[in-house]
Amino acid sequence: MQNSFLSQVKGKLIISCQALPEEPLHSSFIMARMARAAKMAGAAGIRANSVVDIQAIQDETGLPVIGINKHVFPDAETFITPTLKDMRAVAATGVPVVAVEVTGRTRPHQGDLAADVQQFRSEYPDTLLMADTATLANVQEADRLGFDIIGTTMHGYTAETTGMNVADDDFAYLKDVLKTTKTPVIAEGKIDLPEKLKRCLDLGCTAVVVGGAITRPLEIAQRFIAAIQ
């Protein structure tokens, strides 16, 4: 089987439809309806969290999905698809891409990312792996491990990158990522304006993931409320 994900999303927008249990829209039904809206608007793909949400979105839209399983363990900082078991569960839904955190942070039960990637490849040779990275060192590590896609997902979300935003200084960090790797780059994280999406593509990203600015009404409403406080 050939994986056509990269050609399907090239130069296009992927919309992340996610709501954690503590968020007001937490529901596979609602995420599937969010994904329906994303498809109607012209999104080329969806990013989704958890097996149930992925399946509901696949049934609803038929769009290619970047699947993740956010899983918090008491002994680990890494939480995006942090174990081989999580990777397998996501891949078993038939998604073309499984995204995995590559931040060098602690993994559950002192798990070894390189070993998990190797084992996963032997079980799911047709599934692409996306690295959710935070720093240029993470990008290099992802390349060393043979990831198929580099994401900027975790930039600004680790202790080392707190307060940073991929859009700072006309996307200076993203430009460095694009110089560091020849692997397709998907810009993701805090891309909150159409102009920013366009700029990421013009700089050479393969695709862009936008989440909260489209699918998290609580965040959107809070931005409006903040303007009058």
Residues that bind ligand LRY (CB under 6 A): 16, 18, 68, 153-154, 157, 188-191, 209-213
Least Å distance, CB 138 to ligand LRY, is 13
For ligand LRY, the closer of residues 117 and 210 by Cβ is 210
For ligand LRY, the nearest residue by Cβ is 211
Q: First-to-last CA distance in the chain?
A: 54
In sign, the C-alpha dihedral spanning 160, 162, 167, 168 is negative
For ligand LRY, the closer of residues 118 and 223 by Cβ is 223
For ligand LRY, the closer of residues 115 and 160 by Cβ is 160
For ligand LRY, the closer of residues 97 and 125 by Cβ is 97
Least Å distance, CB 223 to ligand LRY, is 12
Q: Are 7 and 44 in contact, with CB atoms under 8 Å apart?
A: no
146 DSSP assignment: T
> Any idea which residue has 């990275």 for tokens?
133
Least Å distance, CB 2 to ligand LRY, is 26
Least Å distance, CB 136 to ligand LRY, is 18
In angstroms, rounded to a whole number, what is the distance separating the alpha carbons of residues 87 and 64? 17
- The residues, ordered by sequence, that sit 6+ positions from 213 with a Cβ below 8 Å of its Cβ are 191, 192, 193, 219, 220
